[in-house]
């Protein structure tokens, strides 16, 4: 992607496992670079939570901030208003089209990918549940499509007998 704002927005959604509404609601003060956390306020179910702030993403975010100088919301559209979800969806659709991606992708796909990649890297499902803001681990399991490769790496306990 060549547009810095678009790249930063999509990177945020993936790197923090956010819903689109959560990403567009983030304010500058919600980014805690000292603790490397992002405070998600008033998420689904009117709950607050913290999620991860990637150090790689933080570099991109700093470039974005210097260039766009947002005043209130991290991502602002016309007249410094909150960026719209539909604009974000168009960004992803255009990016997918540009690279010739045939598979249907949505912004929520990025959230699914975040959860799946954490699980594949060995993160406990309870931590993923917390990062995604789910009440039930059953909800989290929907997001974690475990790959065959990961399943094949599991050592069967019978082999230790």
pLDDT tens readout for residues 70-110: 999 999 988 888 998 999 999 999 999 999 999 999 999 99
CATH assignment, 4-152: 1.10.443.10
* Residues known to be catalytic: 19, 44, 108, 111, 134, 143
Cβ within 8 Å of residue 20, ≥6 positions away: 13, 85, 88, 89, 107, 108
Lowest mean pLDDT among 27-31, 96-100, 154-158: 154-158
CA distance 40 to 63: 22
pLDDT of residue 150: 64
pLDDT tens readout for residues 116-127: 889 888 888 889
Contact 89, 80 (CB under 8 A): no
pLDDT exceeds cutoff 80 at 144: no
The pTM of the full predicted model, rounded to 2 decimals, is 0.85
Residue among 71, 55, 70, 72 at smallest CA distance from 16: 55
């Amino acid at each position: 992607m060549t547009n810095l704002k678009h790249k930063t927005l999509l990177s945020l959604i993936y790197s923090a496992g956010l819903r689109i509404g959560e990403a567009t609601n983030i304010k500058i003060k919600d980014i805690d670079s000292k603790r490397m956390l992002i405070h998600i306020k008033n998420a689904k179910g009117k709950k607050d939570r913290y999620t991860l702030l990637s150090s790689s993403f933080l570099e991109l975010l700093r470039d974005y901030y210097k260039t766009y100088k947002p005043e209130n919301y991290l991502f602002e559209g016309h007249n410094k208003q909150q960026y719209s979800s539909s604009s974000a969806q168009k960004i992803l659709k255009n990016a997918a089209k540009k690279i010739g991606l045939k598979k249907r992708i949505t912004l929520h796909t990025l959230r699914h990918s975040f959860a799946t990649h954490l699980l594949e890297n060995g993160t406990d499902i309870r931590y993923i549940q917390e990062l995604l803001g789910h009440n039930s681990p059953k909800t989290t399991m929907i997001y974690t499509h475990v790959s065959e490769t990961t399943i094949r790496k599991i050592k069967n306990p019978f082999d230790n007998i």
